[in-house]
Structure 1
C-alpha cells in the first residue's frame, strides 16, 4: 500500500499544506491531509522567504505523519511563487539538445529582472505554431533560485528522502481537473490569492502558458484594515473570518453620503450600546468601505493580467476561472470579484475527484474538503503519479540520472534472475525424468519377480533392463557434464558496479581443438577443463578518466576469480579534452564531460569436470 502512495508538500509563506494520496485499483484515494505553520528563519530581504528551520519543519510534520511512511512514498515539493518567473518563446524547429540551449540563452537575454549565476532554468515544449508560413516551436521557460532548490534538497536529506518532483505549483494546478474536464484548445485560468501573493496562471491542455505573480496578499489587507480600524491585527483577522466582506447598502462611489451614513450608524450604535467600541466591533458599512480599495486593486491586477494574456496570445481568452488560496475562503469576496470580471468561475475543490470514503466516518469535514488551500499540495501529489504528464521539474540533473540508473539496474537484476531460472529449468526437467525412470525400473523389477516362472520372456526383460540402465547412465552423464552457470552469473552480477549498464550478455562454448582461441590458449588448457566464452556489451556512465578506472577495477575483480581467464576489455573511444571546474564537488576539475561510453568485454569461463 505504501509503495503506491504519493505525498505533495506545498510550503507557503505562512502555512505548509500536505496531502497524501494512495492509488487503489488505479484510482486516487485521499489518505491524509494536514496543515501547519511554515517555520521560516528571519530573512534579510523581506520580499523573499528565509531559510526553512528544518528541525522544526520535520518535528511538526512527524506529529501528523510518520517519517517512515514518508520514506516509503514518492514525494513532491512545490516552489514559492515569488521565486518563479516564466516566459513563452517562439523558436525555430531544431533538435532537442539545441532547442534546450537556445531556449535558456534567449530566456537569460529577455527575462526581467536580469538573470544571474544564482538562477536555474527548466523548459517545456508547449507545441508548434505557424508564423509567417514557417513552423516554429512554442517553448515555456521557467526560472527560479538555485539556493531555494538546494534548501529543498537539504530539507529532504534530513528526513532521508529524495523528492521525485520539485515544481512550481502554478504549473500543475490543472492536475486536479480530470481529462474529461478539458475541452480542446480551452484556456483555463487559476487565480490564487494567498498570504503574500496574488498569482494568475493560465493553462491549455494541462500545460502552463502564462503566469504572473503580484506581491499583494491577505497580510497587506489585514495590516491596512488593522491600522484604519485601530485594532490589533489578530482582532482584524478575527473580524474578517467572521464577517467577511459585508454587502454594500449604499453606492460606494458617493464618498460624502457614505461617510455621513457611517457616522450616523456609529452615533446610533453609541447611544444604544456604549460598549461597542470598547469591544472593538467594526461597523459593517465602514468595513465594506475599507474593503473596496483592496477589491479594486485585485480587480485591476486580474483585468491587467487577462488583457495582457489576450494581447500576447493573439486574441485568446480564459474561458473558465478557478479560484484557490486562503484568501478566497473569505465570505462574499469571490462573488464580488467574479461579478465584476464575468465569465464562468468556481472555487477549486482539490478533493472533488478523489475517493474520500475513509474520512466520512472520521475527521473529514465538508468545509475542509472545499477549502482551496490544499489545491497546490493535491496537484503535486497527483502530478507525481501522472505518467507522461507535461511537468516542469527542477530536480537536479545528477539526482534524475541516479533515479534512472537505479530503475535500470533493477530491470537488469530481474533479467539476470529470469536467465538463471530459464537455465536451471532443463536441469530440473532431467532430474524429474531421472526419478521417473528410476520408478519405471523398480516397477520392471517387480514384474520380473512375479513372472520368474516364465523363462521365455526373462531374456527380453533383462534386455529391457539393460536399455533402461544405459539410458539412466546417459542421463547421469549428461547431468554431470552440464556446467552450472548460476554461480558464474551471480558472481558476475555482484561485481558489476552501478555506473555500468549492461546491453548484451552471451555465453558460448569454445573448442580448443579448433584453434578459435589460438595455439597458446589451447596449449595452456588441460584436458580436464572445459572452456566457455563470456561476451558482454555495455555502457559506463562517467567521464573518460573515471570510466577507465571503473573498467580497470572491473577487470581486476574478474581476474581474481578462479572461474574467469583471458579477460579483455575494449578501449574507450577517445574524445576531445574539455577541461572544466567541478562546481558540484566543490573542488578539482575534470578533462571530459560525464556520459554513456560504450565498451565490450570478453572472458573465458572455466569449469572443472
Structure 2
C-alpha cells in the first residue's frame, strides 16, 4: 500500500510518498511554493489554485499512482484549538459525547454549529479514588475542512485522513522513545507561526500556535539593518545567531563595542565587498526575539504543569524551519534549561533512491511534518486510533467501498474455482475418451484384453458420474450476482457476523446431534444471516424491515423469516412520560437473524 502525505504551509507545501514494501520505504520527498490565486488578498486554504497545486505534485508522482494511494493531509496548528478534560471511566460512545459537551462548555471563544470536534485519550488519572480518563478535545471549523476537500475536487479523489499536523508529529518518534511519565515538547518555528506542541505517550495533549514566525524575525532584522526581508532571510540562514562573549545585560558596553567595530579600519577596507553585518549587532537584534520565544515556551510549560497536575516536560525537540537556524537550539537550551534536540530527517526510513537526501538538501528538516502525516495514515490502516477530521459520511463511503471490493473479490474467486474445476474435468474426459478408443481398436484383434476393457468401462462410468456432478454445478446460482445483490441490500447500519448458505434445513451442531432420525433429503437452498445493529428498538425494527424489503426486491430470496427482536424492559423515569416523538428505548447493540429460501436460477426465470 502506497501513501501520499501533504502538508500545506503558508509559504511551502511539503510532500512525502511512502510505500509498504519489505518495510516502510520512502519513495520521494519534496516541497514547492504553495500556489495561491493571483488576486488573493491573504494566504489561506481557500485561496489555493488547485490546478497548479496538483500540477506540481503530479510532476513527481504520476496521477494514476496518486489515485491508487491513500492520501493524508495535515491541518495547520493555527486552525485548531485544544482543551484537556478529565472524565470518569465510561464506555467509548458515552465518553465521546461527554468529552465534546464538556469542551463546548469550557472552550473560549464559545463553540458554534460551524465547529467540528475530535478527541483522543491522552492518559489516565486517579482523583478522590475515582479512575478517570484524561481526554484531549480538538476543535476546528467546518469551513477549513471544506476548503481542503475543494482542493481535491479537480482529481476526483477523497483523502483518507485529515489530521492536525501537531497530532501527527509524535509518529516520528519510535514507540520505545515514549516513557510512562515522560512528556515531550515539539517546537516548530515556521514561516507563518510558532507552534508549541506537548505530547504524552505518543498523543497530543496541548498545542499553542502563535502568530509569530521566521518571517516576522526577518522583517524586523531587515528593517533595523536597512535591508530587504529577503536579504535578511539570507543573513539569518548564513549567520544564524552569533555566539558572543559579552554580558548581554550590559547595554552600554555592548553599544560602545558595536561602534568601535563599525569604525574599525579593517571593516572599512572590506566595505566594498558588500553589506557587512556586525556579529554583535546582529546578536542584539536577535535577542528581543529570543527573549520572546523563551517567554512563550516558559508560559506554555507552566500552563501545562498546572493543567496536568504537576507533570513536567522531560525532552524538547526542534523541527521545521527554525531547526535550520544556526545556534538557535543551543541558545534556547541555555535559557530554558535542558537540551533541545533535532529530529533527523527521515529518521529510520529506507529510501528508494540513494540521492534522495541530496535532492532534499536544505529542506529535509521541513519534510519531517509530511513524513509524520504518512506514518499516521499507516497507523490508521492498522486500526490505531488517530484524530481524523474527515466527515463521517465520507468515512462510511470509504468503508463501504472496501467492503464491496472484498465481496467482489470473493465472487470472482468462486467463479474462478468453478471454471478451473470444469476445465479439469473436460481435460480428463478428453484423455479418457482417447484411451477408450485405443483400447476398443485393440479389442478387434486381441480378445484377451477383456479385463482391461472392463476396467476402462468402470473408469468411464466414474467419469460420467463426475460429468453429471459438473452438470449439477452448472445449474447452481450465479454466486457473483447473488452476493452482489445481497451486499447492495444490506444497509450500512447493519454489521453482518455470519452468512450460511446450504441445502436443506440449517441447524446448529447441537440441533443436528439431538435429532433422532434423519429427515428425507431436502434440496431446497436456504440462507441464514446473523447480524448486529446499533440502534434503539424502533429504529432497529425499521432498518430490519428495510433489509427484508430490499432482499425480496432482488428476486433471489423468498419466504424471508426474521424472528422478532428482543425488547428490553421500558423504564419510565419519575419525571413523567417521555415526549411524544422521543424514543422509548436506548440505542444498543441488538442481534438478529434472518432465514430465507434462495431461488434457483431456473425458478427465478
TM > 0.5 between the two?
yes
Aligned counterpart, 1:349: 344
Q: CA deviation at 1:540?
A: 11
Q: CA deviation at 1:52?
A: 2.5
Query: Is 2:150 the counterpart of 1:154?
Result: yes
Match of residue 491, structure 1, among 481, 486, 501? 481
Distance 1:99 1:47, change over 3 A: farther
What CA distance in whole angstroms lies between the structure 1 residues aligned with 2:489 and 2:601? Answer: 29
Q: Secondary structure at the match of 2:313?
A: coil
Aligned counterpart, 1:83: 79
Aligned counterpart, 1:31: 28
Q: Secondary structure at the match of 1:21?
A: strand
Aligned counterpart, 1:384: 377
Q: Secondary structure at the match of 2:359?
A: coil
Q: Secondary structure at the match of 1:13?
A: coil
Q: CA deviation at 1:461?
A: 7.0
1:446-465 equivalent positions in 2, closer than 5 A = 448-449=443-444, 451-452=446-447
Aligned counterpart, 1:94: 90
8 Å contact kept, 1:30–1:356: yes
What CA distance in whole angstroms lies between the structure 2 residues aligned with 1:12 and 1:300? Answer: 25
8 Å contact kept, 2:10–2:44: no
Aligned counterpart, 2:529: 537
What CA distance in whole angstroms lies between the structure 1 residues aligned with 2:498 and 2:385? Answer: 33
Q: Secondary structure at the match of 1:319?
A: strand
Query: Is 2:596 the counterpart of 1:602?
Result: yes
Aligned counterpart, 1:179: 175
Aligned counterpart, 2:354: 359
What CA distance in whole angstroms lies between the structure 2 residues aligned with 1:227 and 1:264? Answer: 22
Q: Secondary structure at the match of 2:192?
A: coil
Distance 1:475 1:283, change over 3 A: closer
Q: CA deviation at 1:554?
A: 5.1
Distance 1:464 1:209, change over 3 A: closer
Aligned counterpart, 2:19: 22
Distance 1:287 1:606, change over 3 A: closer
Aligned counterpart, 2:516: none
Q: Secondary structure at the match of 1:315?
A: coil
5+ residue gaps, structure 1:
512-529, 559-563, 581-592
Match of residue 398, structure 1, among 393, 397, 418? 393
Aligned counterpart, 2:509: none
Aligned counterpart, 1:296: 291
Q: CA deviation at 1:259?
A: 1.7
What CA distance in whole angstroms lies between the structure 2 residues aligned with 1:162 and 1:301? Answer: 38
8 Å contact kept, 1:40–1:50: no
8 Å contact kept, 2:184–2:198: yes
Aligned counterpart, 2:64: 68
Query: Is 2:312 the counterpart of 1:328?
Result: no
Match of residue 240, structure 1, among 233, 236, 242? 236
Paired residues, number? 563
8 Å contact kept, 2:118–2:389: yes
1:416-435 equivalent positions in 2, closer than 5 A = 416-420=411-415, 434=429
8 Å contact kept, 1:531–1:604: no
What CA distance in whole angstroms lies between the structure 1 residues aligned with 2:312 and 2:466? Answer: 80
Q: CA deviation at 1:202?
A: 2.0
What CA distance in whole angstroms lies between the structure 2 residues aligned with 1:28 and 1:466? Answer: 62
Q: CA deviation at 1:296?
A: 0.6
What CA distance in whole angstroms lies between the structure 1 residues aligned with 2:580 and 2:5? Answer: 40
What CA distance in whole angstroms lies between the structure 2 residues aligned with 1:355 and 1:565? Answer: 53
The Cα RMSD (Å) is 4.0
What CA deviation, in whole Å up to 9, does each residue of 1:221-278 have, x standing for no partner?
12222222222222222222222222224222111122222223223369825956x9
Q: CA deviation at 1:411?
A: 2.3
What CA distance in whole angstroms lies between the structure 1 residues aligned with 2:21 and 2:238? Answer: 39
Distance 1:444 1:247, change over 3 A: same
1:407-556 equivalent positions in 2, closer than 5 A = 407-420=402-415, 434=429, 438=433, 441-442=436-437, 445=440, 448-449=443-444, 451-452=446-447, 471=462, 473-482=464-473, 484-485=475-476, 487-496=477-486, 498=488, 500=490, 503-509=497-503, 532-537=524-529, 552=549, 555-556=552-553
8 Å contact kept, 1:124–1:139: yes
1:268-287 equivalent positions in 2, closer than 5 A = 268=264, 272-273=268-269, 279-287=274-282
Q: Which moved more, 1:465-474 or 1:50-59?
A: 465-474
Query: Is 2:50 the counterpart of 1:57?
Result: no
Q: CA deviation at 1:380?
A: 0.4
What CA distance in whole angstroms lies between the structure 2 residues aligned with 1:248 and 1:499? Answer: 75
8 Å contact kept, 1:41–1:50: no
Give the TM-score of the pair, scaled to structure 1. 0.80
Q: Secondary structure at the match of 2:57?
A: helix
Q: Secondary structure at the match of 1:322?
A: strand
What CA distance in whole angstroms lies between the structure 1 residues aligned with 2:170 and 2:580? Answer: 43
